[in-house]
Amino acid sequence: MTWAESLDSLTIWAVQKGYHVEFVKNGDDSVCYISKIIEVNSSSSLEKQVIHMAHECGHVLIFEHGSKFNFKDRRNEPTGTVSHKVFTLIEEVEAWKRGRDLINRLKIPIDDTLWEKSMVKALKKYINWASDLKGK
């Protein structure tokens, strides 16, 4: 399976879930649950687009089926609070896991080292952001 075919498989999966996928030059690799749009940075290599798309699909799975950690939805809490940051970090970790499970189910081959490097790089940003807790 080529990277383009892998990206197509994930896109088809997202469309079947009711999401629209937009490939945007220098896009931010994100999902909006309200508009049901997944944005993928088309400036990244195809392999990285597959990895980031899988992660965003992991968020879709959490939104649709709830977290495996069984905590209530915390998206409406005030931004910057300790609980908001911690639960955002937990969701990010879970989205990486669920995204990986999805590509395994779709039989998309992925380089373990590149997957882990991408995951660590992304989570490091969230860890740095969440570590400034200020006791709120």
**CATH dotted code for 3-130:** 1.10.10
- pLDDT profile of the chain (136 residues), mean per 10: 93 97 95 95 95 97 79 65 83 95 95 95 91 65
Spell out the SS3 assignment of the chain. Answer: CCHHHHHHHHHHHHHHCCCEEEEECCCCCEEECCCCEEEEECCCCHHHHHHHHHHHHHHHHHHHHCCCCCCCCCCCCCCCCHHHHHHHHHHHHHHHHHHHHHHHHCCCCCCHHHHHHHHHHHHHHHHHHHCCCCCC
pLDDT of residue 121: 95
Domain boundaries, the chain: 3-130
